[in-house]
Amino acid sequence: MDNLTHSLVGAVLGQMGLKKKTGLAIPTLILAANLPDIDAACLAWLDGIQHLGFRRGITHGPIAMLVLPILLWAAMLAFDHWQARRGKRPAGRLPIDKRWLLALAYIGCLSHPALDWLNNYGIRLLEPFSSQWFYGDTIFIIDLWIWIALGLSVWLSLRRERGGATNWQRPAWVGFTAICVYIFANGLITGAAERTTATALAASGHRDALVVASPPPLAFWQRDIFWRTAERYGSGSFTPGVGGNLDISGLRAGMDDPRIEGWLMGDPDARAFLFWARMPVAQPDGDAILLRDQRFMHPLAQDRFQVRLTAPDTATRNQ
């Protein structure tokens, strides 16, 4: 998910009452909720499309989930001690409870891969032990409704707290519960869309098709459908209670082009792209091959998620 969503999750967890457990609780929760995205800071040395094969990997895996919270915990303790030595520690800040501060660092960090798994971009939850990608296909990567629900919950909770209400945590709990129900309901919609599509494809002879039901940006109750076999791919749509609209015949995926294997040897961008791609498509582009991914072939996104593969002696690409 985007970093605003991660930050709002950290804030709402604090407003649910966790911020009263220790000093520096809110900044720890928000920083921890974003910390696995530290891999984005490493992208400066990666050229072109290679960041696709690097993101959501090692800093989202089990070793990072063990180590990153401890590093953040140590940094927050050092910051508190530094402020105390300089006489700038806020008088109203709660004392630091080391055990609770570490627990909050873990809670915030673990919320990050849990949310990232929900969309269809992909996350390598087991890196470095396995490079397998995992996909939830449940929530769009930037969900406006989650922004609104979490933002409103935090604002109402803070307003009640500042007004002296004893139940100031309630709006945060309501917002958190609502988002959990929202995610669960979206999971049910995705499951129904994928089962319906798989049944229709099997009836038409595509029995081993991979089906991905992708939520659109705003109409969360709908699904964009992508399907593919080794040779063909197609798309469609699904709406609960209405049914699906599916292209059964499909188009040639083109990944059996014999040139691809040889040309990949000299093209790190293309190798990184295919490592990341879940539903790769190869399309002729003059003397080159345009590698794309079905999930991101919308005109507004396709330029960021494609690579032009050329013969080694004419290795130029447009992205």
Tell whether the torsion through CA atoms of 281, 247, 132 and 140 is positive or negative: positive
Residue 13 CB partners (closer than 8 Å, separation 6+)? 29, 33, 107, 108, 111, 172, 176
Cα-atom radius of gyration of the chain, to the nearest Å? 23
Say if residue 253's pLDDT is above 80.
yes
Q: Using CA atoms, how far apart are residues 163 and 168, in angstroms rounded to an integer?
A: 9
**Percentage, residues of the chain above pLDDT 70:** 96
- What's the rounded mean pLDDT across residues 216-231? 93
Ranges of each domain in the chain:
3-136, 193-251, 254-314
Q: Using CA atoms, how far apart are residues 255 and 226, in angstroms rounded to an integer?
A: 16
pLDDT reported for residue 48: 63
Strand pairing category for 223-228 and 243-246: unpaired
**Phi and psi angles of residue 202, each rounded to the nearest 5 degrees, phi first:** -65, -40
pLDDT reported for residue 303: 80
Q: What is the mean pLDDT of the chain?
A: 92
* Cα distances (angstroms) measured from residue 284 to each of 263, 264, 281, 314: 14, 15, 10, 15
Residue 127 CB partners (closer than 8 Å, separation 6+)? 57, 58, 60, 61
pLDDT reported for residue 208: 86
pLDDT reported for residue 319: 44
Say if residue 313's pLDDT is above 80.
no
Q: Using CA atoms, how far apart are residues 8 and 32, in angstroms rounded to an integer?
A: 12
Single-letter amino acid code for the residue at 295: R
Q: Using CA atoms, how far apart are residues 156 and 147, in angstroms rounded to an integer?
A: 14
Tell whether the torsion through CA atoms of 175, 176, 181 and 183 is positive or negative: positive
Tokens 């991101």 -> residue: 296
Under a CB-based contact definition with an 8 Å cutoff, are residues 267 and 240 in contact?
Answer: no
E strand or H helix that includes residue 280: strand 280-285
Tell me the pLDDT band of 317, cut-offs 50, 70 and 90.
very low
Under a CB-based contact definition with an 8 Å cutoff, are residues 197 and 227 in contact?
Answer: yes
pLDDT reported for residue 43: 63
Under a CB-based contact definition with an 8 Å cutoff, are residues 309 and 291 in contact?
Answer: yes
Under a CB-based contact definition with an 8 Å cutoff, are residues 40 and 52 in contact?
Answer: no
Q: Which long-range contacts (CB under 8 A, 24 or more apart) does 206-214 make?
A: 206/232, 206/248, 206/250, 210/279, 212/120, 212/135, 212/137, 212/278, 212/279, 212/294, 212/295, 213/137, 213/189, 213/238, 214/120, 214/137, 214/140, 214/295
pLDDT tens-digit map of 28-78: 999 999 999 998 876 656 656 888 888 899 999 999 999 999 999 999 999
Tell me the pLDDT band of 86, cut-offs 50, 70 and 90.
very high
